[in-house]
Amino acid sequence: MAVSIAGMVSPSQAEPGRLVIGGGAVSPDNAEVWQALIAGLPDPEHDTIAVIAAASGEPVASFESFRDTMAAYGVDRSRIVLIRAAIIDDDTTPDDESQWNSGGTDPANQAMIQAAGGIWFTGGDQARTAQVLFDDQGAPTPLLQAVRQRFDQGAVVGGSSAGAAIQPETMIVRGDGLTALLDPVPAVPGPADMETGALILAPGAGFFPFGLIDQHFDRQARLGRLVRATLRSEAHRFGYGIDENTALIVDVDEGKARVVGKGGVTVIDDVDAEQTGSPNDFPASGLRLSLAASGDQIDLATGWVTPAPFRTAVSMPRPDDTEPRLVEQGALVPSRTLVEHIDADLIGGRLALIRLWTVGPDHRALELRLTRRPETRAWFGRAENGDGGMTVDSLDLAITPGRVQFDAVQP
């Protein structure tokens, strides 16, 4: 008689499953991400994947889009099941999905989760997902308890955009890149605070215990809010900013993560950060910033980045200017991303330190100082499919608030 080894493993013996944390806008043709999700199923040939689409403004349409993507990678459509939990109605269907707002306690939903080998959280608004994962007192609903149990038993859990935001123990709910740095963090945020651009934090689902997660990191310029959130989180020293069309594949048991996709992951480490007593957390200095590209591995206990084997070390020019340089920014100069500034000025250029200014409302401004450390290293190289780019380990980051006054030159 054949005996299934999997059937002999008790839940207490099982290892936690894999996490697939997408930075948003993950393309259907991004095979590395989707194949990592499928490969993480305990039984990739037969397991179902339960979809929690509560974040979406069109939960059924989001579910169907995910099911189409999985079908393109060989997963039978019947194996993709929808958890009936939602907050708002999907106008693309004749049903009223807002009636699913009690889905967090629906036994039928719990049964589908308990039978699934994978759980996927769609994008949208993570605050909506939180409404089906937590009750009015902030306690986990039976739905969240069921997902946690399946994850502990080895199921793969994934999500993108809002589905990534929900996964840490502390969740970033709101915050614009600049306003999140300039404005106070509400102690007890109310509905009005949700639209101000201020940083809003809340409890997350707790699948990712290694720090905070932010997404759409490159397109939405979210360095500021990730730094602020990391500094505010006493329980965690790391923040991970995931670019669009990119994912972090996490082995929770090993404490390791691998970057896959078209962009990269920015790692913020505040273990040596110094703050000077301001109630708004700034000035702050001594933050460590690293960049991980596709194929790189991150040690989630230390934040150290190991470059992919196809990357080679970059010989950085010896700095010939130790004075801080104010880098040109604005509408009259070519636009460059933070990664491009690092590449051109600190890694490929002869600068030891660059200053980047951002001006906000009421003449308020922030200066970012990026400095090479003695241990700073860089690598460059692309995989055969073209993914990848530059890996940088250990730049120093400081943020200082200020004010800017414009004095016109008189003829």
Beta bridge partners of 397: 287, 370
The reported pLDDT for the residue numbered 9 is 35
Report pLDDT for 2: 31
How do 256-261 and 297-299 pair as beta strands? antiparallel
Chunked mean pLDDT (size 10), the chain, 411 residues: 32 70 98 97 97 97 98 98 97 95 97 98 97 97 98 98 98 92 87 91 97 95 93 92 98 97 96 78 92 97 97 89 64 81 88 88 89 95 84 96 85 75
Q: What pLDDT is stored for residue 298 in this prediction? A: 98
pLDDT of 277? 63
Look-up of token digits 């993950």 = 26
If DSSP codes are grouped into helix, strand and coil, which group holds residue 268? strand
In this prediction, residue 405 carries a pLDDT of 84
Alpha-carbon dihedral 115, 120, 126, 127, rounded to 10 degrees: -20
| 0.85 surpassed by pTM | yes
Residue 173 main-chain phi, psi, to 5 deg: -95, -45
